[in-house]
Structure 1
């Protein structure tokens, strides 16, 4: 296997008053606390940029001999305006030029981290949901392909790209052929599915991509279930810890049986995300809340 099976979690450890936009990062003590929590149950974590926070996390994993491997992900800024995005995505010519320069810098940093932390980094991704038409930071499939090829030539790590299952059918065919393995995102709950249908949706979505690319290894780099919602897109009565426990536990059991690595989203609640509404679902996907209190999913697992 290019990406050996393991238990995996997406990791973004921002706490109250912290966020990536203002570069207000967790302290060393906070990062170490998170890593020690995560290494008890997981083999891999996935991080979402080449920021100083990611670099410090890698340094602390090494310094404290934390038993976790990291998937690095490029954070790509918009290389074109996206008038279809309702919350942003409109850039001037000069802003696009700066974003393209930023993306090249991001590429160089990811390559540097992959070289500096050979034992800590298990793979690299050429972006995260950069192609979908709803993204305020829209990047063309051709540019994603460029980043994939550069990472393959220069990072000396297995290379992937992470995106929603729907976009691998048509938009990402060339990317699919170029990557070492395909990374898919599956969120049936965003499509209004209840737990049983969502479980079926994740498993069938995985098999669908495998049928399209039978010679490619496929892993899941995001799926999960929120524990609160303001009823916007996700019905509030299905967003709770009980449903998270059932959904994540069943998918975890399936992934272990099939030896398909699945990065569950997310390790910890992220209150900086989304609107000011405290019930905004973007904030509430963690196995732990923002104060690192475990949710019901951390209790006895549900097996099928």
Structure 2
């Protein structure tokens, strides 16, 4: 009898110790997450990144609800996405603040939910988006308020906001509606860095600007100015954009089928072209790295944006470069993830969901169709495999369960896939 009592006591003590260890483990995991920094997650292949906009309608006046945002975030989390990029914190567009609220609520509902944000602050020049002449040498008076709202949100959600990005493609010269000179971006980056030193922002918060590879010195020499050098020295890392998709029209030499490949099958030609597209992005990345090194700087470079559209009635469709369809998007997405993960480069893939406000007057405009999901929540070809793995079971968008585009019929999908033009044809047309 005594031995049975001792055995019972030992069992109870063992269970108690085990439960304490479990509680301790959970507490340690929560404490670890609270201390996670940008340095920990950027370049970490276990923290996949994506650009996110939750807009469903043709106008951003129709803001998605927090409930809708939470549904989206659950889908992205199921994909392994743990870092989101947002673009602005304008007072009449509470999308970013609602995204942060949605993440905060999800974390409270589920201690295992983990997601962080690269918070964008939109930067404009004077008279941008108005009927007045733009002045690219003077900044918009609205910029100060944008920065202060970003600061407030970073302080309100320090466990979620790990990066503030000053501007989006705000320095590249082809952004004729709103671009500013590098000194404007430099001014605000230095301001945010000073707040970190003063203890008014977390010292672990990273500050950057997200812009085209050329704006970071990887292209034309006209960008190689002293203010850009100072900016590179002031940011915590470089966030560069690369879009071989757009260059299938604007700079298509890599895209055309060379004579040596003309006897390949249609699929082989497409596969080879997509591999060249990735090499195109790698060259742009390397060009930024070389410029950075040339001015004596060594900092991380991550990809703040890159993507491939699935519909185009313009330059990239059947009457243009023939670059646009879900099959090519799937190849690009997988090749891009493979490269960046292996090199420990964060890639904020553009983008999570289609957004039809981007080119509201042209439903088939390519800007509306960069998402990995359609507006109604269908998974496009790049993530069909995740549907097969049942990662979206029990999740939905707009009340609809996640199903595949083309009803999962690869033969139906391939009927919409076009072969890139011959390189000789491209060169003649240029």
Q: Please say if 1:295 is aligned against 2:380.
A: yes
Asked if structure 1 preserves the Cα contact closer than 8 Å seen for 2:87 and 2:120, the reply is yes
Which sits farther off after the overlay, 188-197 or 232-241? 232-241
By how many angstroms is 1:73 displaced? 0.8
1:268 aligned to 345, 353, 360, which one?
353
Hey, what's the Cα distance between the residues in 1 that align with 2:381 and 2:349?
15
Hey, what's the Cα distance between the residues in 2 that align with 1:177 and 1:35?
34
1:128 aligned to 145, 157, 168, which one?
168
| Partner in structure 1 of residue 81 of structure 2 | 42
Which sits farther off after the overlay, 187-196 or 106-115? 187-196
Consecutive unaligned residues in structure 2, runs of 5 or more: 1-37, 108-112, 196-200, 218-223, 249-254, 256-272, 387-430
Hey, what's the Cα distance between the residues in 1 that align with 2:155 and 2:43?
20
| Partner in structure 2 of residue 119 of structure 1 | 159
| Partner in structure 1 of residue 241 of structure 2 | 185
Asked if structure 2 preserves the Cα contact closer than 8 Å seen for 1:222 and 1:263, the reply is yes
Q: Secondary structure at the match of 1:109?
A: helix
| Partner in structure 1 of residue 304 of structure 2 | 221
By how many angstroms is 1:189 displaced? 1.4
1:107 aligned to 135, 141, 147, which one?
147
Q: Please say if 1:277 is aligned against 2:356.
A: no
Q: Secondary structure at the match of 2:100?
A: helix
1:24-75 superposed Cα distances (whole Å, 9 cap, x missing partner): 2101221111111111221100000114211111012111114210000111
By how many angstroms is 1:233 displaced? 5.1
TM-score by length of 2: 0.63
Name the structure with the higher helix share. Answer: 2
Which sits farther off after the overlay, 132-141 or 257-266? 132-141
Q: Please say if 1:67 is aligned against 2:114.
A: yes
Asked if structure 1 preserves the Cα contact closer than 8 Å seen for 2:120 and 2:167, the reply is yes
Change (3 A) 1:184 1:56: same
| Partner in structure 2 of residue 198 of structure 1 | 277
1:254-291 superposed Cα distances (whole Å, 9 cap, x missing partner): 11111110010000001111252221001110000111
By how many angstroms is 1:80 displaced? 6.0
| Partner in structure 1 of residue 421 of structure 2 | none
Hey, what's the Cα distance between the residues in 2 that align with 1:168 and 1:56?
31
1:209 aligned to 278, 282, 288, which one?
288
Change (3 A) 1:89 1:130: farther
Hey, what's the Cα distance between the residues in 2 that align with 1:89 and 1:165?
27
| Partner in structure 2 of residue 13 of structure 1 | 54
Hey, what's the Cα distance between the residues in 1 that align with 2:291 and 2:382?
33
Report 1:50-65 matches (<5 A): 50-51=89-90, 52-65=94-107
Report 1:77-96 matches (<5 A): 77-79=124-126, 91=132
Asked if structure 2 preserves the Cα contact closer than 8 Å seen for 1:80 and 1:138, the reply is no
| Partner in structure 2 of residue 232 of structure 1 | 315
| Partner in structure 2 of residue 84 of structure 1 | none
Asked if structure 1 preserves the Cα contact closer than 8 Å seen for 2:316 and 2:323, the reply is no
Hey, what's the Cα distance between the residues in 1 that align with 2:182 and 2:130?
17
> CA-atom RMSD, angstroms?
2.3
By how many angstroms is 1:163 displaced? 0.6
| Partner in structure 1 of residue 269 of structure 2 | none
| Partner in structure 1 of residue 334 of structure 2 | 249
TM-score by length of 1: 0.88
By how many angstroms is 1:212 displaced? 2.0
Asked if structure 1 preserves the Cα contact closer than 8 Å seen for 2:316 and 2:324, the reply is no
By how many angstroms is 1:239 displaced? 0.5
Q: Please say if 1:137 is aligned against 2:193.
A: no
1:218-272 superposed Cα distances (whole Å, 9 cap, x missing partner): 0001001110111325636320000000011011011111111001000000111
Asked if structure 2 preserves the Cα contact closer than 8 Å seen for 1:127 and 1:144, the reply is yes
By how many angstroms is 1:128 displaced? 0.6
Change (3 A) 1:90 1:275: same
By how many angstroms is 1:209 displaced? 1.5
